Chains A and B, each alone.
Chain A
């Protein structure tokens, strides 16, 4: 079932292409000439100090933020002001947020079926089957009829992942999915993400979970002051960082 969506769209080798992307918040230059190319099935981890523009970078990919200069092409579609294209891109790109952003007035099941029903026009029954499939995969099918407020943080984040997966996205974005969680819940969410990675999902994750980066990333990107400072495959990145800033940053977070 997962493959049907992939088969219909014209396939391009690159999932996400950012070329010379610049962005300003008012006077503040947040993104400075960001170049990033992500191949299909690739798993990227972005790290960097607070305020370095990691969130802004991935939020540009599904147009939650608008870039002012440069080019962003997602799944073969260039992001412009054309609302139709933006919606097209958002349909194919799932996003998981730091604070889950579940809809508190809907049950877990309704959270998961809402977009398939209204955006993909899927019949309700089928949407519910798909939702239960993914809820089972994130190991909480028994919570389907509860409300988000009744779940633990780790469970909520897994629901958020399931909710995105129900749209059968081609690309998944994660913005610090574990940093609002208590330590004992981090693992359950990371395990879910590792599972996704093993199935070949294209993933771009902002995270400081270096164990996760070592285990699944094809490439680790270090950002500072709105720029990509260094990128490398994980073993080399962690054992032999080249840039001074990277060394400093890794020294701080790896103790």
Chain B
């Protein structure tokens, strides 16, 4: 008893020196032990996963690479000869690569879409890498001069032979639809999101109706209506390009989704930010542009990129109105008598999946990078 009483009074005499942290389970073996084999249950899961991989991977690798046919000029190459098994028919992809990329864009004009794609990817990298010089100018060029030049190069006129959009196809159509959709839907979504929160009843109602109508209708229906119903309302003789119709449909559709994503971000901004901006005399558009949107958009980057990715993949739906994107062009070639063998369909589909995956995964990684980079608010 008396010991406890003396213990309640305590005055530190000497301060403890800081010590190094205990040696942790570093390196790969440490990581493996900590994450894969830390408990009997984890050990069981890890082992069954290993078994599953051991069962599934070797045949897949065999099919994809070892038994695959890499060269050839027609179906003969990919037919099983004297009892051998034949894997993926990469010769087919190789032979059709230009079609998968450009559709039926005339062969002697394919330098035009090629040039556009090269400029696009260089420009994109320029804009996307924060340390690049003249980045701001590059953004402006990409948003103004580039689309005009692209239209001229792809469609033609002013000295270039005209290539109707019905001849465009493959990756070219995928990129045109996806990128136009992405670039148009972001500002549209921002305007709609602001409109939906507006105090002016008219603007609010218009925004709500627009968003709810477009969100409530499947994209397939939108595309169908764009291609079948729209011509009924247009005066005869007025021909409204099919690709353009699809572009508008996709942009409005994605814009409606984007609006709700962005509204979520706007709602997450504390009232104090609006009041701080207002008390300094900033007007509505100024405070939105300089204070609210930069913060709101940062919060919803994952949601925005999610929309972009799903838009990128949904471009394949333009097939139903008779446009051929990457997947459409590949599928179309399955019926080519010159190449028809059992392995071209799986090969083509895996190729399509891989190309889509590369694009979507890049967007995903870039968005994670941006999130980390913009995370100024919480870093201390």
A95 within 8 A of B: yes
B187 within 8 A of A: no
B239 within 8 A of A: no
B280 within 8 A of A: yes
B142 within 8 A of A: no
B2 within 8 A of A: no
Q: Known contacts A104-B295, A149-B378; decide if A118 and B278 are in contact (CB<8 Å).
A: no
A80 within 8 A of B: no
Q: Known contacts A97-B275, A101-B275, A105-B295; decide if A119 and B376 are in contact (CB<8 Å).
A: no
Which of A62, A87, A101, A115 contacts B272 (CB under 8 A)? A101
Number of interface residues of B (CB under 8 A): 23
Query: Chain B residues near A118 (CB, 8 Å)?
Result: 282, 286, 290
A163 within 8 A of B: yes
A101 CA to B276 CA in the complex, in Å?
6
Minimal beta-carbon separation of A205 from chain B (angstroms): 15
Are B280 and A150 in contact (CB-based, < 8 A)?
no
Q: Known contacts A105-B294, A105-B377, A150-B380; decide if A90 and B279 are in contact (CB<8 Å).
A: yes
B379 within 8 A of A: yes
A104 CA to B281 CA in the complex, in Å?
18
**Interface 1/0 per residue, A113-141 and B, CB below 8 Å:** 01100110000000000000000000000
Query: Chain B residues near A64 (CB, 8 Å)?
Result: 275, 278-279
A231 within 8 A of B: no
A22 within 8 A of B: no
Q: List which B349-380 residues lie within 8 A (CB) of chain A.
A: 374, 376-380
Which of A87, A114, A149, A163 contacts B290 (CB under 8 A)? A114
Query: Chain B residues near A97 (CB, 8 Å)?
Result: 272, 275-276, 279
A24 within 8 A of B: no
A83 CA to B281 CA in the complex, in Å?
11
Which of B283, B291, B298 contacts A103 (CB under 8 A)? B291
A119 CA to B298 CA in the complex, in Å?
25
Query: Chain A residues near B290 (CB, 8 Å)?
Result: 114, 118
Which of B276, B278, B376 contacts A105 (CB under 8 A)? B376
B interface residues with partner A (beta carbon < 8 Å): 272-273, 275-283, 286, 290-291, 294-295, 298, 374, 376-380
The 5 lowest CB-CB distance pairs between A and B, nearest first, are A101-B276, A115-B280, A104-B377, A101-B272, A95-B279
20 A-B interface contacts by CB (under 8 A): A62-B278, A83-B283, A87-B281, A93-B279, A97-B279, A99-B272, A101-B272, A101-B276, A103-B277, A104-B295, A105-B374, A115-B281, A115-B282, A118-B286, A119-B280, A119-B282, A119-B286, A149-B377, A149-B379, A163-B280
